[in-house]
Amino acid sequence: MKYRQLTQTQRYQISALRVTGKSQRQIAGIIGCHSSTVSRELRRNSTSGYDPEHAQQQSNARRSRAFKWHKRLQWLTEWVSTRLKQHWSPEQIAGFMNRMKTPVRVSHQWIYDLIHRDRLSGGNLWRYCRHRNSRGRRRNAKDAGLGKIPNRTGIEHRPEEVESRGALGHWEGDTVLQGHKQSGVVTLVERRSGYLLAGRLREFTAKQTARTVIRLLQPIRGAAQTLTLDNGSEFSEHEHMAKALNLDAYFCDPYCSGQRGTNENTNGLLRQYYPKGTNFAKLSQTHINRVVEQLNNRPRKRLGYRTPAEVFWGEYSGAL
């Protein structure tokens, strides 16, 4: 039988049943607990006799002094709170601590309880939790940009090995926009590691997009073999990008953003920092780089709670 704290009513029952001469085992059966619970209760709270009111007061005092993680380990609460403010999920925090084999660990449920207590006390940790937004609008055929992309190569021609995520070097690309192409950033995500690169677009043109993609991938072009893109017209200069980076570019089927699932999911994470309506023209590349660094150093469940940066830089040799 699982141990539970006795209630004040049960303590009055213990007192009354003892007067009638009931044994501890009989009392336990009547009030619905284990006989060892009754024995422990009488041993703890009997002096010249058993007083149920005094016993309840003693129990309350012990519970108020009891060790509680959220009360005693202030550094732990602060560390977890900092991770939450960096948009780590409770599961990511708990998994990361478990992976690092720290002497103090917490469960994701403990972290949710922390968030709940913080909100009840007027805190704002809950605002950093992920929200389930819609998966985005469905673009019509005109928006798909198929007719604006010369010499487009469909994803059906992409090597099958890319799908397995078994090797580094296969990227997905898209843009995150403000409104109707008022401002935006181009995002590139490596499929195996989830490693993110993002560049602000000074102008929302195909030429500017190509220039930004080349700038982002040029330093690590040895780790860029394929690039799977969205069908937006901003990627119409894909041939220039492919030649400059010595990679093969492919395009998803219309309305099939799931074929770039890694990129789509990462863009969702980026939206936690830059919600819809964000004017990217007012942001510096340095500001965007700081957010990218946070995302690349956030542990991921599918990576065994390693970070994208750990996986990418652990496998990339630096060759060009």
pLDDT of 222 strictly over 60? yes
Question: Best-predicted range by mean pLDDT among 90-104, 120-134, 143-157?
Answer: 90-104
Rounded Cα gap, residues 165 and 307, in angstroms: 16
Phi-psi map region of 311: left, alpha, beta (phi>0 left; psi -120 to 50 alpha)? alpha
Task: Pick the range with the lowest mean pLDDT from 46-50, 122-126, 230-234.
Answer: 46-50
What is the enclosing helix (H) or strand (E) of 289? helix 285-296
The predicted structure's pLDDT at residue 72: 53
The predicted structure's pLDDT at residue 3: 55
Per-residue pLDDT tens digits for 7-36: 878 888 888 888 888 899 998 888 888 889
- Mean predicted lDDT score pLDDT of the chain: 85
The predicted structure's pLDDT at residue 67: 52
Burial of 168 per CB tally in 10 Å (0-12, 13-18, 19+): buried
Per-residue pLDDT tens digits for 279-318: 888 899 999 999 999 999 999 999 999 999 999 999 997 6
**pLDDT > 90 fraction of the chain, expressed in percent and rounded:** 44
Which two tokens mark 1? Answer: 């039988």
Rounded Cα gap, residues 225 and 302, in angstroms: 22
Task: Pick the range with the lowest mean pLDDT from 216-220, 255-259, 276-280, 307-311.
Answer: 255-259
The predicted structure's pLDDT at residue 293: 96
Which two tokens mark 273? Answer: 């920092």
DSSP 8-state assignment for residue 174:
E
Burial track 254-293 (b if 16+ CB lie within 10 A, e otherwise): eeebebbebbbebbbbbebbbeeebebeeeeeeebeebbe
pLDDT of 141 strictly over 90? no
Per-residue pLDDT tens digits for 143-193: 455 557 899 999 999 999 999 999 999 999 999 988 767 788 999 999 999
Burial track 25-56 (b if 16+ CB lie within 10 A, e otherwise): eebbeebebeeebbeebbeebeeeebebeebb
